[in-house]
Amino acid sequence: MLQNLEGKAVPRVVFKTRQDHEWIDVDSDEIFKGKTVVVFSLPGAFTPTCSSTHVPRYNQLTPVLKRHGVDEVICMSVNDAFVMNQWQHEQHADRIRFLPDGNGDFSLGMGMLVNKADLGFGDRSWRYSMLVRDGVIEKMFIEPDLPGDPFEVSDADTMLHYLAPEAELPLDVTVFSRDGCPFCVSAKGLLRDAGIEFDELVLNRDFNETTIRAVSGKSTVPQVFVNGELIGGSEEVEAWLGHSKAA
């Protein structure tokens, strides 16, 4: 039976971390004492849902969470320090702290250690998230006790909505560009000057002309998309930014 430990202290354990080629023991108190911390724990590094959705969205929303009082966001899994460090590097998730619960001690203390021997995983953490203030668990979002790997409530958006229901979400912006394109440079510069983060996809590296035509019906670059809507090239971006400021 999965336990909800709201109102109780987090387990006191020592995490075996690897920093700059050295083993560093990190005590729970170093992480939680006197701080407001969001933790999301998941079944395993490099697994599909964890890599495609859980980690990226928390990494994207970490600045928003911090603006609403969170000191640190932690990703935890029953994996060793080498695996967690490599996974963080592969995910480009530099806003999140990755903690290895290699022996499952923290997950066991949380009542979240489950057996996944049917997958060859051994003992792993159940998927959940929690808000911890000064070492005491204020809120837990525990995935339903169903077969498989449910992912319904431990996501970053649910945590942010609990913490700050009126918080403004960051825009989802993608720029399709080409190396050596001055208009692409201009569009990216406009977005940066406006403080808008974006993902960049480069022609003949990340996509080809067939892909961009399938997406927008055009093969020109740059093409800037905001929340799924095609804004256009650099001139259209400038106009869109001007309209946004006026509004």
Q: Which residues are catalytic?
A: 50
8 Å CB contact between 219 and 213: yes
Residue 52: which of 143, 155, 126, 142 has the closest Cα?
Answer: 155
DSSP, collapsed to helix, strand or coil, labels residue 185 as helix
Q: Are 103 and 93 in contact (CB under 8 A)?
A: no
Query: In terms of Cα–Cα distance, which of 158, 232, 153 is closest to 191?
Result: 232
SS3 181: coil
Bridge pairing between strands 128-133 and 36-42: antiparallel
